[in-house]
Amino acid sequence: MNKKLVGLAVVATLSLTVFTASAEDMFRGAWYAVPGVSYVNTDSDLNAKNGPGVFLKLGKELSQSWDVQGGLGYDTARQDTGIAGASGRYKQTSLGLDALYMFSRSNFRPFLLAGLGVARNKLDYSYPGVAGNTSKTSWLGNVGLGAQYLFSDNIGLQADLREQWSRAPLGTTALGAANNTSTVANTLLNLGGLIRFGAPAPVVAEPAPEPAPIAAVEPEPMPEPAPAPEPEPAPAPEPVKCTPQVDTITVSAEKLFAFDKTALKAEGKAALDEAAGKIKANPEIKAVIVTGHTDRIGSDAYNQKLSERRAKMVADYLVAQGVDSGIITSTGKGESEPVVQCKGNKATKKLIACLQPNRRVEIRAEGTKESGCN
């Protein structure tokens, strides 16, 4: 059992090293089902061989980094007590809930998992001259690692390797010992199909229709010119209309934040320091509006919240640099005001690069000094 735990830890460490720098995500907030088969390597205390099983899980994408899966499992193995004439089976029925930490939201999605639940372990062993069975219902805990691979937005595969602990009756001897219980650790290898639903695909803007050709119109003959009217006195010039001075600074989100983060980078702080200096140097400025924008990758609700959090972070930083908090406000527009349109449904590197201008923060400063006025 200790060797199995050490091996699992080594594999998990290698997975973290390989997959931490993952591809850009295509998070959709989808629900999915995972039906599949399993192979159980039983704890030596159970005196059982290895055996097959089945499971059914229901999962939900909670965020860019977290999934949750719940479901039922059933595993079985033939007894191996070493007693001549003995026979029977070990059976485990489990109901559990797992939290999955996802290293990527691309087509290939490695993850770590940990979960809790309940398990019913049953020993249906019979010995020469003794027949009977015993069972134990207890808590269940497991940890492991695995990966998903999506062939499309709706179909994929999931595999995981986990160590699973629960309390079970012992099957060591023919008489008496079956009433004793102990904590046992089984190793399970699970493989299933992934059926994803409720995953809205990104909306691709349709090209505008070409205007219909305008028919040529024959020009009408020019009328005879009318006699020139007597000149009238020139009207007095209209007063010059004055408009408030408005300055807008646009900063790329990549310059300010890491992907899907709201913590400001050093490069972004330098740009905001310059903007704060300009605002403080112009006492005519009476209002500063900070607006966050995202691209269309991800759900509308998630992008709206991300734009609001980023705008609030920029506004708070400007206040910390001495900008009057009474004149500054923040708002988020999500993906509603793109400046470029790009083709494609998958969150590929090409699409993410094309949509880069849409991920931005705008700082709009409005002053009382008016253009066109003395």
Q: What is the mean pLDDT of each run of 10 residues along the chain (374 residues)?
A: 47 42 60 96 86 95 94 90 74 95 93 96 74 83 96 93 92 51 93 83 53 63 67 65 65 73 81 87 88 86 88 90 90 89 80 84 76 48
Cβ contact 80:50 at 8 Å: no
Longest dimension (CA), the chain: 133
Cβ contact 288:275 at 8 Å: no
Residue 149 half-sphere exposure, CB side, CA atoms within 13 Å?
6
Q: How far apart are CA 159 and CA 72, in angstroms?
A: 16
Q: How far apart are CA 257 and CA 263, in angstroms?
A: 6
pLDDT at residue number 188: 95
94's enclosing H/E stretch is: strand 87-102
pTM: 0.50
pLDDT at residue number 197: 87
Cβ contact 141:165 at 8 Å: yes
Q: How far apart are CA 47 and CA 333, in angstroms?
A: 62
Identify the three-state secondary structure at position 88: strand
Q: How many residues does the chain have?
A: 374
pLDDT at residue number 13: 39
pLDDT at residue number 14: 43
pLDDT at residue number 244: 55
